[in-house]
Amino acid sequence: MKRLLLLILVIAGVNLSAQTKLYKGDSKYDADIAYSISGGIVYHGDNTFSRKILFTISDNKVYHGQSTSTFDCLYTIFESKIYKGDSRFSSDLIYTIEDDKVYRGNSTFSSNCILTFDEGKIYMGDSTFPSDILFTLSNLEIPLAIIACIVGPY
């Protein structure tokens, strides 16, 4: 019985540590949680208190709400590119990811950089100035492409 209880506590601890929270700006206060990501579901705010599901992440796709229907597909992630909807056509390309930066379209020019990821922080544009911090992440296991889909488009 003790082993079963210990196993349950270990599994619960792993599930809690796998949760990612995006805090507004440079904050780490619970009141500043913008998004919570747990088990492929993106919640508005802290999922402990808010059960409002914004997105579902499955098979390199981001869906609206709790759906995984093709009709509700908002973004498709393929290699280092993010496309609109359930598409991989070049005309539907919205973001390119390279060197911890998110660029608009198929460009990797500094002028087209919309997000920069550095040391657990998401910055606006091609910047790492403290005044340009958009979000702080609690867990770095979520790929930048997923973060770009959640906090974009710009």
* Residue ranges covered by each domain of the chain: 2-151
Q: What is the C-alpha end-to-end distance of the chain, expressed in Å? A: 53
Q: Are 116 and 134 within 8 A, CB to CB?
A: no
Q: Is 65 left (phi over 0), alpha (psi -120 to 50) or beta?
A: left
Q: Name 133's Cβ contacts closer than 8 Å, sequence gap at least 6.
A: 25, 26, 121, 122, 123, 124
Instruction: State the Cα–Cα distance between residues 42 and 113, nearest whole angstrom.
Output: 24
Query: pTM of this prediction?
Result: 0.82
91-105 pLDDT, tens digit each? 999 999 999 999 999
pLDDT band of 142, cuts 50, 70, 90: confident
| DSSP state letter for 66 | T
Residue 18: the pLDDT is 65
1-33 pLDDT, tens digit each? 333 333 333 333 334 346 899 999 999 998 899
- Tell me, which fold does domain 2-151 have in CATH? Porin (2.40.160)
Residue 22: the pLDDT is 93
